[in-house]
Amino acid sequence: MNDSEPRTLDCGKTVEELSDYLAAGRTPFDPRIETCPECLNALQGLTRVSQLFHSLIQQDVADLPAPRENWFQDIMTNIHREVRAGRSLPLPHPDNRVNLSLTEGAVLALIRTVGDTVPGMLIGTSHLEGNVEELGAPIDVSVAASILWNQPIPDAAHTLRALISNALTKHTALNITSINITIEDLHEDMANKDMEN
Amino acid sequence: MSANVNEDAQPLDEDVLTALVVAVHGVSDVFPPALSLAQVSYMLTAVVTGDPERLDRVHVSSAGGTTTVAVRLGTSIDAATPNTAKQVADVLLAQIPDGLDATVTVQVSRIA
């Protein structure tokens, strides 16, 4: 996908439309967006990116390392990929008349949510590797993240791994065999994020 | 199971089922299961009235003698999602009349 192609969710909305809706203060009220879980997951991710973007453009970045080219674009693309419903992750129930499931998109959005609570950390991409549609199948989780340039990477990675492990244990029935974290970017200070935390 | 039993059974009321699901601890949202032709009228009404509750509800459908009760949920990050989903399914199962050939589908699409 190149930067000019619209990123369309399963519901038909594009990430660009959602970004415009967010910029307009979520008005006028659009029930198609506000009742769609994929749109709401995307809005949550876009809000986080928007906060980061505004904190960066308000700073004098001359003395700080610049973000990698297309960094924001990559994150936007990943939000689009992640919020799609994706695969269906089964949840157990003893009655065979019942079909319980959790969407892959909900889990990836959850990983982004908990990851963004780590001070200085911003989740780039996350993947569930393995047959998530089969209960008990071994699943590897891979996460790529960006971190504030002066934060200790081992500590942040350890905290992120623990938070993801706890969240997946609490909210899914996945058999997680590994959580692999890659720090692939350093970024500048994020005043807004520090204020949130 | 006989056809007579199904005919005598009380119809499953979507509004009642939705109210029961919303009351389950850990449920934060109820979304439409999926956009289908049957939901277009709900969608148009919701757009015109600005009332999303026209869409956010449990859906009951029948085909081939089988009734399907389906709901798509948002769950609270503070409650364990598998437990919340199971409780929702149990609530819906309890509303299915004896003898009615029915299945319950619960999909969690958002945890926040």
CA distance B39 to B7: 25
Total-model pTM: 0.78
Which token pair is A95?
């009655």
Domains of chain A: 15-196 (3.30.70.1350)
> Is A38 in contact with A83 (CB distance < 8 Å)?
yes
3-state secondary structure of B24: coil
Decide if pLDDT at A72 tops 90: no
DSSP characters over B84-99: HHHHHHHHHHHTSPTT
3-state secondary structure of A54: helix
Taking the CA of residue B11 and the nearest CA in chain A, the distance in Å comes to 18
CB atoms under 10 Å from CB of B49, counted, come to 11
**Chain A residues whose beta carbon lies within 8 Å of the beta carbon of residue B93:** 95, 97-98
pLDDT in tens, A40-50: 888 888 887 77
Average confidence (pLDDT) over A68-78: 66
Mean pLDDT in chain A? 82
Which residue in the set A41, A100, A170 is minimally distant from B86, CB to CB?
A100
Which residue in the set B32, B82, B107 is minimally distant from A35, CB to CB?
B32
Q: Residue A173: what pLDDT? A: 97
Q: Residue B86: what pLDDT? A: 98
Which residue in the set A38, A91, A97 is minimally distant from B85, CB to CB?
A91
Decide if pLDDT at A2 tops 60: no
Residue-range definition of the domain harbouring residue B23: 3-111
User: What CATH number does the domain containing B25 carry?
Assistant: 3.30.70.1350
CA distance A72 to B106: 35
A102 to B108: CB separation less than 8 angstroms, yes or no: yes
pLDDT in tens, B28-62: 999 876 655 445 555 555 555 555 555 568 999 88
Instruction: Name the domain count of chain B.
Output: 1
CA A192 to chain centroid: 18
Torsion angles phi and psi, residue A135, rounded to 5: -60, 130
pLDDT in tens, A104-161: 999 999 998 898 888 888 888 899 999 999 999 999 999 998 887 777 888 999 999 9
